[in-house]
Structure 1
Amino acid sequence: MEMAKKSVNVSEANNISKEHEIYLNKVKKTKRKILITRILILVIFIALWQIAANLKWIDPFLTSSPTRVIESFVSLYEGGGLIKHIAVTCYETILGFSLGTILGSLIAVILWWSPFVSKILDPYLVVLNALPKVALAPIIIFWIGNGIPAIIVIALLISVITTIISVLTGFNEIDKEKIMLMNTFRATKIQILRYLIFPYSVPILISALKINVGLSWVGVIMGEFLVAKNGLGFLIVYGGQVAQLDMVMMSIVILSAIAFIMYEVVAIVENKLVKDRS
């Protein structure tokens, strides 16, 4: 009987492992299909863009074309200025993104810590979030001056309010009964924050990071439109002024690629945090 039971358990384990293996293979196949489909869409889009430009379905001067974008890239790269422009924009974006996320999260913690202060500042946060930040850009430039610091501050202002609101909302959505349970065990606010609020708010924090990737790029490019002498935003403005739309399209393509890379880095961080939690 014992031998029979052992053989049944072994067969059940084998069935489970086979089913799990089949499931993992399906997941891998689905991921491959998604990746291949994404690449095909991009390739088809680029091919149609080039064909339309070659056959004059669209005006290459106004819309450029993949070959002209590549030629503009090579020309600027050989001139030695392209890497500097990319580096300046990346530096401004990463710094604005980091400061906005860190400062916004810290302010959200302070507001969660003091509900009284949070209720007082709530309408001001709503107004600041609704206010178009581009309206503040001339004032910031006047206060700080032309240059990288003003651009970073603009990027910071665009992302920090959104971070405060989203992170604070996540903190306040934690189950009140769990907080009451920890209070019954006389947990301090620091312990509640460390062992309950932060772990349960990881998805909210990741969501804020993803939002801030886009907002930081918006702030930096907007600032470079106004005051920069270097950067991809400067190239877009300069290219439009001198009617070099190939340079404009090239800068937009580079911006899209770098923004995608930043988003993927955040996604990798998200996957690592999810694995650590599980």
Structure 2
Amino acid sequence: MLEETCSQAPVQAPAPSKRRSLLRRWRGRLAVLACQLALLVALLALWQFATSSQALAFLFGSPSEIWGMLVKMQQDGSLLQDASVTGMETLLGFLIGNVIGTVLGLSLWYSRFVSKVMQPFIVALGSIPIVALAPIVIIWFGTGLASKLAMSTLSVVVVALVIAYKGATGVDDDQINLMRTLGAARRQIFCKLVVPASLRDIFAGLKLTVGFALIGAILGEFMSSSDGLGHAIFKAGSLYIIPKVFAGVVVTIALALFLSFLVGRLERLLMPWHNFN
């Protein structure tokens, strides 16, 4: 009777063990964050000490001068203006390039023959240095927003295509054959198996192409622009204002980290079944 009662009782993980697991997880994250902050502070302190001489300060700037330049740029409004312009160019190029590249990469799964035919052309496009296309892009699209979008998009599209195709072709053949035996059409296999199974690779590509999109936008601003972080960095460099150059670089890094954070949040939203610990 006792054995029967025990067998009918639901088996549940004790709540204290879940709390301990959650606590250990948060402790691990806080430890990583503390180490990252300590390393950053140590590097900044070493940088500040190394640039105590005027010669090194002229060549590399100092954290205090860079901070003062950031405050000055914030006060005159150029910081927000340049960051918003570059951020808009980066975001639009990132979205356009990834949409085109991902759609083309997943579409190549439909035909291995077509993918083999296109492979050398894709490799050729991916091997072209994006900076070499800048003069042509300016001739085609002018010196306005369109040329920066084109540079940012071109920096992203081939990488997104290759990663999406890799994810699509990496789907387990046994799962595909199982769906075929169950009567699934090719379109159903693509929508219900290939695309969901490729999401992990696609989001890995999204995190990678954030930097590529930002580099493309900055290069476009280097070539021809009247505003944006690339224009500010190029102008400050030509005038040997090193703290402003590094200030622009710091804002660029912050913008890349923010966009990467948004991609990570989107990944958690669209892939709730994946373990992100």
Q: Tell me if TM exceeds 0.5.
A: yes
The Cα of 1:85 is off from its aligned counterpart by 0.9
Confirm whether residue 35 of structure 1 aligns to residue 36 of structure 2.
no
Number of aligned residue pairs: give it.
Answer: 275
Deviates more, 1:174-183 or 1:86-95: 174-183
Preserved CA contact (<8 Å) 1:52 1:58: no
Q: Provide the rounded CA distance (Å) in 1 between the counterparts of 2:54 and 2:73.
A: 28
Q: What are the superposed Cα offsets for residues 73-131 of structure 1, whole Å, 9 maximum, x if unpaired?
A: 22222223222111110000000101111110111122222333222111100111122
Aligned residue type for 1:38: Q
Partner Cα distance (1:215, 1:5) in 2: 62
Matched position secondary structure for 1:104: helix
> How far off is 1:238 after superposition?
0.2
For residue 72 of structure 2, what is the aligned residue in structure 1? Answer: 75
Query: Superposed, which structure 2 residues align to 1:1-278 within 5 Å?
Result: 1-2=1-2, 6=6, 13=12, 16-54=14-52, 56=53, 59-276=56-273
Distance 2:9 2:62 in 1: 64
Q: Identity rate of aligned residues, in percent?
A: 30
Q: 3-state SS of the aligned residue for 1:59?
A: helix
Native 8 Å contact 2:222 2:231 kept in 1:
yes
- Mark the runs of 5 or more structure 2 residues left unpaired by the alignment: none
In 2, Cα distance between equivalents of 1:22 and 1:109: 42
| Alignment gaps of 5+ in structure 1 | none
Structure 1 residue 276, shift from structure 2 partner: 4.2
What secondary structure, in the 3-state scheme, does the structure 2 residue paired with 1:136 have? helix
Is the 8 Å Cα contact of residues 225 and 237 (structure 1) preserved in structure 2? yes
Alpha-carbon distance in structure 2 between the residues aligned to 1:179 and 1:252: 47
- The whole-number CA distance in structure 1 between the counterparts of 2:168 and 2:33 is 35
Tell me the CA shift for residue 167 of structure 1: 0.6
CA contact (8 A) 2:106 2:195 kept: no
Letter in 2 for 1:237: F
What SS class does the counterpart of residue 187 from structure 1 fall into? coil
Contact 1:239 1:245 in 2 (8 A): yes
| CA shift for structure 1 position 224 | 1.0
Question: Could you tell me whether the CA contact under 8 Å between 1:85 and 1:232 is conserved in 2?
Answer: yes
- The 2-side partners of 1:70 and 1:110 are apart by 48
Shift of 1:207: 0.6
TM-score (norm 2): 0.91
**RMSD over equivalenced CA pairs, Å:** 2.3
Aligned mates of 1:7, 1:141 — CA distance in 2: 75
Measure the CA separation in 1 of the matches of 2:254 and 2:40.
12
Matched residues in 1 for 2:144 and 2:263: separation?
A: 28
Q: Under a length normalisation based on structure 1, what TM-score does the superposition of the two structures give?
A: 0.91
* Structure 1, 75-84 or 253-262: larger mean CA deviation: 75-84
- The 10-residue stretch of structure 1 (127-136 or 84-93) with the greater mean CA deviation from structure 2: 127-136
Aligned residue type for 1:137: A
Inter-partner Cα distance in structure 1 for 2:31 and 2:271: 23
SS at match of 1:186: coil
